[in-house]
Amino acid sequence: MRSFLLFFTVLFGLCLTVSAQKQPRRKVTQSVVKQGICGVVRVKRGNYMPSPDSPRQNSTGMPVEREVLIFPLLNKSQVEAGENGFVNSVGDAKPVKTIKSGKDGTFCVSLPVGQYTVMVREETGLYANLSDSKNNIFPVNVQKNKSVTVTVDITHQAVF
């Protein structure tokens, strides 16, 4: 009888261990980040020109893993701009946060209230293809107790 109880005790313990190991790692989601920036990084390649002969499939792009850098708000006058959305140099500016997007392209980062610039690191350098009317590079305004959702489209290999 003792060996029978010992067997079931060990078996039960193994089941608990295996089930604990199979628990997925918790992803940081927008609901967890109460104040900051969440988003998705997508890459677009190829011809996106409208054409009745060849409708575009997957016009939203493909989610990708990239290093996402969050800087204090940067203006084009503060950086050395390259071509096609690339930034050759940000001078003395340092990112306040750096995070890697997941395989599904998503990222989320907690930040204090403020204005920020979002860039991604490509093999050839930093990339941000958006700016506002004041030439601020990919500006994002984080407000108190709010999470801002952004989409970073990497389009330097696409034609529109």
Do the bridges between strand 36-47 and strand 147-159 make them parallel or antiparallel, or are there none, so unpaired? parallel
pLDDT of residue 26: 38
pTM of the model: 0.73
pLDDT of residue 85: 86
Whether the predicted pLDDT of 50 surpasses 90:
no
More confident residue, 2 or 62: 62
> What's the rounded Cα separation, in Å, for the pair 43 and 96?
24
> What's the rounded Cα separation, in Å, for the pair 114 and 138?
14
For residue 15, which amino acid is it?
C
pLDDT of residue 47: 59
**Which domains, ranges and CATH numbers included, belong to the chain?**
28-159 (2.60.40.10)
State pLDDT tens for residues 72-119.
999 999 999 888 888 999 999 999 999 999 999 999 999 999 999 999
More confident residue, 119 or 19: 119
